[in-house]
Amino acid sequence: MSIRPGTSTTLPTDPGPLSPGAHLERMRSAAPLVQCITNHVVTNVTANVLLAQGASPAMVDIPVEAGVFARIASGLLINLGTPTSEQRDAAREAAVAASAAGTPWVLDPVAIGALPVRTELAHELVALRPSVIRGNPSEILALAGAGAGGRGVDSVAGTDDALDAARMLARTHGSVVAVSGAVDLVTDGDRIARLANGTELLTLITGGGCALGATIAAYLSVAHDGDLFEATVAAVTNYTVAAEVAADATRGAGPGSFAVAFIDALHALDAATVADRAVRS
Amino acid sequence: MSIRPGTSTTLPTDPGPLSPGAHLERMRSAAPLVQCITNHVVTNVTANVLLAQGASPAMVDIPVEAGVFARIASGLLINLGTPTSEQRDAAREAAVAASAAGTPWVLDPVAIGALPVRTELAHELVALRPSVIRGNPSEILALAGAGAGGRGVDSVAGTDDALDAARMLARTHGSVVAVSGAVDLVTDGDRIARLANGTELLTLITGGGCALGATIAAYLSVAHDGDLFEATVAAVTNYTVAAEVAADATRGAGPGSFAVAFIDALHALDAATVADRAVRS
Amino acid sequence: MSIRPGTSTTLPTDPGPLSPGAHLERMRSAAPLVQCITNHVVTNVTANVLLAQGASPAMVDIPVEAGVFARIASGLLINLGTPTSEQRDAAREAAVAASAAGTPWVLDPVAIGALPVRTELAHELVALRPSVIRGNPSEILALAGAGAGGRGVDSVAGTDDALDAARMLARTHGSVVAVSGAVDLVTDGDRIARLANGTELLTLITGGGCALGATIAAYLSVAHDGDLFEATVAAVTNYTVAAEVAADATRGAGPGSFAVAFIDALHALDAATVADRAVRS
């Protein structure tokens, strides 16, 4: 900001939080190393989503190695979609190591509620204070103890139905909570952002939500001034804007074509497109 | 059926079994929740194939949870492609729970014969009376004790070579048996359908057969009057017709393009296209 | 070679090693059965890459079965990307069985160095004298005890930085060593080939390197006169030439489109295209 002589001198205004587009550029420059302990349905698409955005995926998910790696990774995702016993041990180890080392981490409590093993593990992990919790409304409600969980990986509730649960989780665990739906909701307990980008096609391909969890982990590592709330908003915004671009590019072709175009759009995304399309209230 | 006055009154003729196209519409309306315990090569494509068709996949394949979920799922697939010890326990548990709860389930005995662990498990599971057994001719022969199994996941025999074995398995275990090949064969021990749709390209992508097993599980849950034979015929017909549409759309482009177009075609498939293309004898 | 009467008779000159294109045709005719014990991020793409090239993938990676199958497979890949405890046992078993049965096998020591479990296993397996070792420079340096390993699956070193380590490994273990990078390097300790085909896009999709390991295993099984060095050169050449063709076909579209086109290009590749494009020094 230049201050021209002869005008009345004012203090520089607070530039405000970093925009999603600026976060995108920071993330691409940093090429963060994102450790993923995730379900075996989406490992491939998750790795490709990260690579397309300029991050570096590392699916280090076995005991002993998971903890070692969580100390050097830029960010960590723990997704409970298909939690084998080795993955459960690896998840515990990595969450502890990440917390100790200051590695930001995301918990995605996939399909908790009716399924006992993952539900117990999710409650154990959330007590370790994840940087971000990401889920659909049913999962957020179940994690907050306010619902019985969804129909498998699907959710029947809207994101605003989970707002109170999300705020409670955020305040209790010091986490940012991101609730996915037609309108995505992000809160740190105080601030609330409603993000209205995206496309229904994201629900017609597997990994649409899971790979967003990994994307958030990538953005957390480049949070500006430690503002994980805005980094999460940026991750959700950029990801869903890219999905819109892909939907436009393949309109009517179907989910197979969309999945391919989505990877292309994530790779090609720029700050101008994000600024042009992002819808936040 | 309206009966016009003045015409001779006749009893309504039996409308016959539901067509594959009618099954398709029933399945899309129901959006069945399909539990898959399947191999880690094809989890992603299986989930995408189910989503594209309007079903809801849930890869719940760990002990404790597998049994819980099999009680609430609309249908279940057990595919033995890469059976880890946890998956083997999960498969046993889910098969027992599905049988007890009346959840229809499909057994896909991938590559049994020469490989001892899965062969033993397949024999154990078939005794639990799966609703449908799906395999290539070598696998069906091996399961019936009539052959030594194939060359890995490939089969050297034709489907009619496995007809006697398929009928025997169907009668012994009260199952419908679907044998995949250039001409697909479906039998319940008495009825036999030969279905001549499809494309060789399905054998050039991984999961072509495995995702069909999941598709059958989706259709079983909407079987009309409990007719699992016709539901299986519908699943095979609709799946292979969509493959033909995709092959036509990408003629000459290769298996990468075909795989994408196949997902699109499964999503776009309608009853008219099926009626137009289906070949059954 | 015909010798025309009236010309001075000469002994036929040594035709030299088989070209990559000739290897391609041999491989397609043989349709080798390639066993893969590989990481769960790339199982799907690895199977599709093998199928597209005319090989037959078989992901047999559980204890007991892995050893049985390694005796009948045409070639074997052991990739340490996500080594669960069952996969580690399966890998040991398969390596011993392959060596005993004369099945050629490839070791891909993914991300060794900083990660202790896989590093220890890689050292154990390399002592069993794999036919080929494939890795990026960091992995080859770490396996030779000459480096601390890379940044997860990435490498910061160039292939020539790993030349001495590669030659040492080749001589110590009787292996061919293939080092992947902008210029790929293949050595058997004496001979060195530098192969300059490929595209940066291969690094933007997951499995770009891992599926090459499986491709090498397919080519080893059709090595001419037991020349594994030339078979490895052929595998790398054909694979990277197909990647170039795919990059040309989708220029600017992004990594999603490239991944699809790469499968198509592997399927369509012919000896003339390889002869036209291959760059070797």
d(CA C164, CA B49): 48
Predicted pLDDT at C155: 55
Which of C 174-233 lie inside 8 A of A, CB atoms? Answer: 203-207
To the nearest whole percent, how much of chain B has pLDDT over 90?
Answer: 88
Out of A40, A48, A86, name the one closest to residue C206 (CB): A48
Cα-based distances in Å from B31 to A150, B75, B104, B106, B216 = 15, 11, 15, 18, 13
Q: What is the pLDDT of residue B13?
A: 62
pLDDT of B168 over the 80 cut: yes
pLDDT band at A154; cut points 50, 70, 90: low
pLDDT for the residue numbered C13: 62
Report whether pLDDT(B178) > 60: yes
Q: Is the pLDDT of residue A4 over 70?
A: no
DSSP category for residue B146: S
At residue B31 the predicted structure's pLDDT band, cuts being 50, 70 and 90, is: very high
State yes or no: pLDDT of A165 exceeds 90. Answer: yes
Say if residue A198's pLDDT is above 70: yes
Residues 6+ apart with CB under 8 A from C161: C137, C141
Residues of B whose CB is below 8 A from A207:
44
Mean pLDDT value across residues B88-96: 98
Pick B256's closest partner by Cβ from C58, C86, C261: C261
Pseudo-torsion of CA C105, C108, C113, C116, nearest 10°?
-70
Q: Give the distance from residue C43's alpha carbon to the nearest chain A alpha carbon, in angstroms.
A: 9
pLDDT at C5: 44
Cβ <8 Å between C255 and A52: yes
C167: how many CB neighbours lie within 10 A of its CB?
A: 18
Q: Residue B38's pLDDT is what?
A: 98
What's the N-to-C CA distance of chain B in angstroms?
A: 28
Residue C250 lies in a domain: yes
Mean pLDDT, residues C101-114: 97
A117 and B72 within 8 Å at the Cβ level: the answer is no
Chains that touch C (3 or more CB pairs under 8 A): A, B
**Does B4 or C13 have the greater pLDDT score?**
C13
Residue A132 lies in a domain: yes
Predicted confidence (pLDDT) per residue in C109-136, tens digit: 999 998 999 999 999 999 999 999 999 9
Alpha-carbon distance B140 to B144, whole Å?
Answer: 6
The H helix count followed by the E strand count for chain A is 11, 8
Question: What mean pLDDT do residues A14-27 have?
Answer: 90
A26 labelled as ligand-binding? no
**Hey, of A38, A46, A48, which one would you mutate to test binding to chain C, going by the most C CBs within 10 A of its CB?**
A48
Out of B56, B62, B264, name the one closest to residue A256 (CB): B264
What sign does the CA torsion over A73, A77, A80, A82 have? Answer: negative
Please indicate if any CB of chain B lies within 8 Å of the CB of A67: no
> Quick check: C260 and B255 CB within 8 A?
no
pLDDT in tens, A59-99: 999 999 999 999 999 999 999 999 999 999 999 999 999 99
Residue to substitute from A103, A267, A269, A273, interface C, most C β-carbons within 10 A: A267
Residue of B nearest to A255 (CA): B264
What is the C-alpha separation between C236 and C180, in angstroms, rounded? 9
Q: Do A152 and B61 touch (CB under 8 A)?
A: no
Instruction: Give the CATH number, domain containing residue B160.
Output: 3.40.1190.20
Nearest 5°: CA angle at A45, between A41 and A49? 145
From residue C222, give the alpha-carbon distance in Å to each of C25, C27, C237: 10, 6, 15
**The pLDDT value given to residue B148:** 54
Residue span of the structural domain in which C28 resides = 20-277
Contact A62 C82 (CB under 8 A): yes
Distance CA A122, CA A131 (A): 14
- The residue with tokens 């009787």 is C174
Specify the pLDDT at position A146: 73
pLDDT at B256 over 80: yes
> What average pLDDT does the structure give for chain B?
93
- C65 contacts B84? CB cut-off 8 A: no
Confidence check: pLDDT of C8 > 70:
no
Q: Look up residue C135 and give its amino acid.
A: G
Measure CB to CB from residue A41 to each of B33, B47, B265 and give the nearest one: B47
Contact A51 C259 (CB under 8 A): no
CA–CA distances in Å: residue C253 to residues A25, A85, B144, B202: 20, 40, 50, 26
Residue pLDDT, tens place only, C20-69: 999 999 999 999 999 999 999 999 999 999 999 999 999 999 999 999 99
- Residue A152, pLDDT above cutoff 80: no
Cβ proximity of B134 and B231 under 8 Å: no
| For A34, nearest residue in chain C (alpha carbons) | C152
Tell me whether residue C81 is in a domain. yes
Residue B77 belongs to what H/E stretch? strand B75-79
Measured distance CA(B133)–CA(B212) in Å, rounded: 11
What are the chain C neighbours of A55 within 8 Å (beta carbons)?
none
Can you tell me the mean pLDDT for A223-231? 96
Q: How high is the mean pLDDT of chain A? A: 93
The span from the CA of B27 to the CA of B31, in Å, is: 6
On whether residue B129 sits in a domain, the answer given is yes
pLDDT at B53 over 90: yes
The string of pLDDT tens digits covering residues A94-140 is 999 999 999 999 999 999 998 999 999 999 999 999 999 999 999 99
pLDDT of residue C233: 98
Inform me whether the pLDDT recorded for B153 exceeds 80: no
Q: Which of C56, C58, C68 sits opposite B116 (nearest CB)?
A: C68
Q: What percent of chain A has pLDDT over 90?
A: 88
Burial B117-154 (b: 16+ CB within 10 A, else e): bbbebbeebbebebbbbbbbbbbbbbbbeebebbbbbe
3-state secondary structure of C34: strand
- In one letter, which amino acid is B55? A
b/e C44-67 (16+ beta carbons within 10 angstroms → b): bbbbbbbbbbbbbbbbbbbbebbb
Question: What was the pLDDT predicted at C279?
Answer: 96
Q: Are B190 and B230 in contact (CB under 8 A)?
A: no
Judge: B206–C263 Cβ closer than 8 Å, yes or no.
Answer: no
Q: H or E segment at A177?
A: strand A176-179
CA distance C268 to C266: 6
* pLDDT tens column, C136-166: 999 999 999 976 554 444 556 789 999 999 9
Asked if residue C115 is part of any domain, the answer here is yes
pLDDT beyond 60 at B62: yes
| Full-model pTM | 0.93
Give the list of residues 6+ apart from residue C46 with CB closer than 8 angstroms, or none.
C36, C38, C57, C59, C77, C207, C210, C211, C214
Residue B1 within any structural domain of the chain: no
Asked if the structure places residue A184 within a domain, the reply is yes
**Is C88 labelled as part of a ligand binding site?**
no
Counted across chains A and B, CB pairs separated by less than 8 A come out at 93
Cβ contacts (< 8 Å) between B65 and chain A: which residues? 115-118
| Number of folded domains that form chain B | 1
Q: Is C7 exposed, middle or buried (0-12, 13-18, 19+ CB in 10 A)?
A: exposed
Task: Please give the Cα distance from C30 to C231 (Å, whole number).
Answer: 14
Residue C10 has a pLDDT of 55
Structure confidence at residue A11 (pLDDT): 58
Q: How far apart are CA A20 and CA A233, in angstroms?
A: 7
pLDDT of residue A225: 93
pLDDT above 80 for B68: yes
Give the distance from residue A226's alpha carbon to the nearest chain B alpha carbon, in angstroms.
Answer: 35
Find out whether A92 is annotated in a ligand binding site. Answer: no
DSSP β-ladder status, A184-187 and A176-179: antiparallel
- Residue B262 in domain: yes
With tokens 């315990």, the residue in question is: B37
Task: Please name the chains neighbouring A, where neighbouring means 3+ C-beta pairs under 8 angstroms.
Answer: B, C
Residues 93-152 of A with CB under 8 A from B: 111, 114-118, 151-152
pLDDT digits (tens, 9 = 90+) for A40-54: 999 999 999 999 999
Q: Say how far apart CA B221 and CA A43 lie, in whole Å.
A: 29
Average pLDDT, chain C: 93
Q: Give the mean pLDDT of A150-168.
A: 78
Describe the strand order of the beta sheet including C184-187 as a list of residue ranges: C56-58, C33-37, C75-79, C105-108, C132-135, C176-179, C184-187, C192-195
| pLDDT for position A12 | 57
When mean pLDDT is compared across B29-43, B144-158, C177-191, C235-249, the lowest value belongs to: B144-158
| Region C176-204 average pLDDT | 97
The DSSP bridge partners found for residue B207 are none
